[in-house]
A = this chain, B = another copy of it.
Amino acid sequence: MIDVRVQSADFDPGRQLERLRELGRGAVASLLGIAEADGDVTSIVVEHYAAMARVELGRIADEAQGRWPLSGIILIHRHGSFGLGDRILFVGAASSDHQAAAEACAYLARSVRERAPFWRKERLAGGTSRWTERLPSAARQPV
């Protein structure tokens, strides 16, 4: 089972864990991505390349399924405007093998961060905003 979603609506992480548990395997690993920012950031805007986002998440899920013995994968990536603490990303993987579930989940989360076509802008208290570009050096570049 592979379920990949790109949506503006919120999701229920507990419900996603339950869907993966119901597959009947011994382990469900998950990673929840949450809107976090420092200092005077008031909200976060996530922009996406709609025509590519779901396709790329599907490619990432297919790669993970080819590398680990997984019974299920769920990827949910939200776009739109977020308050701090809001859920943005859910990555989940089920397997009979605990180690496989954990490794696949880490791989999925890393691949989504590096390749899924979403971009993040921070809105600041003064009314300005800045993009988080994630350059190869991991430096953050105000624009």
Counted per complex, copies of this chain come to 2
* Residue contact A106 to B102, C-beta cutoff 8 Å: yes
Which A residues fall within an 8 A CB radius of B?
A: 12-15, 17-18, 20-22, 24-36, 84-85, 87, 96, 98-99, 101-103, 105-106, 109-110, 113
CB-based contact B31/A98 at 8 Å? yes
Q: Which residues of B have CB within 8 Å of A85? A: 21-22, 24
Tell me the nearest residue of chain B to A112, going by C-beta. Answer: B98
Given pairs A13-B17, A21-B32, A30-B30, 4 additional interface contacts (CB within 8 A): A24-B84, A25-B36, A26-B35, A27-B33
- Output the least CB separation between A53 and chain B (Å): 19
